[in-house]
Structure 1
Amino acid sequence: MKGQISRSNDDTIHGLKNRELSSLKKLHDNYVYSMSGVVALVVTDEETRNRILDWTFIKAWHEVENYESSQTSVFIWLLRISMKVMAEHMEVPLLEMQKRVYHAYRELKAKEEKKN
Structure 2
Amino acid sequence: MVSLIEQHIVSLLKEGDKRAIPIIYENYSGALLGVIQKIIKDEAMAQDVLQETFIKVWRYSQKYDEKKAKLFTWLYRIARNTAIDKLRSHNLKFEKEIQIADSNVYKISTAELNQDTLDLQKHVATLDEKYQEVLKALFFEGMTQQEASDELDIPLGTIKSRLKIGLRELKKIYNP
In the alignment, what sits opposite 2:78? 81
**SS of equivalent residue, structure 2 residue 66:** coil
Give distance in 2, aligned partners of 1:65 and 1:16: 7
TM-score (norm: length of structure 2):
0.47
Structure 2 letter corresponding to 1:21: K
Aligned to 2:67: 70
CA RMSD of aligned residues (A): 1.5
Shift of 1:62: 0.7
Query: How far does residue 65 in structure 1 lie from its aligned partner after superposition?
Result: 1.3
Q: Which position in structure 1 is the counterpart of 2:15? A: 18
Post-superposition Cα deviations, 1:40-77, rounded to whole Å, max 9, x if no partner, equal 11211111010000111110111111111111111110
| TM-score, structure 1 as length reference | 0.69
2:88 to 87, 91, 102: 91
Q: Which gives a bigger RCO, structure 1 or 2 (Cα 8 Å, sep 6+)?
A: 1
What code does the residue aligned with 2:22 have?
K
* CA distance in structure 1 between the aligned counterparts of 2:12 and 2:43, rounded to whole angstroms: 30
Q: What is the aligned partner in structure 2 of residue 8 from structure 1?
A: 5
Q: Does 1:27 align with 2:24?
A: yes
Give 1:70's aligned amino acid: K
Q: Secondary structure at the match of 2:69?
A: coil
What is the CA-CA distance between 1:10 and the residue it aligns to?
Answer: 1.9
Deviations 1:70-109 (A, max 9, x none): 11111110111012211221127xxxxxxxxxxxxxxxxx
User: CA separation in 2, counterparts of 1:37 and 1:23?
Assistant: 21
Structure 2: stretches of 5+ with no match in the other structure: 90-176
Contact (CA 8 Å) 2:39, 2:84: kept in 1 or not? no
Contact 2:37–2:46 (8 Å) recurs in 1: yes
Pair member with larger Rg: 2
Quote the offset at 1:18 in angstroms: 2.2
- Sequence identity, in percent? 22
The structure carrying a bigger helix percent of its residues is 1
Q: 1:49 is matched with which residue? A: 46
**2:60 aligned partner, one-letter code:** E
Question: CA offset at residue 8 of structure 1?
Answer: 1.8
SS at match of 1:41: helix
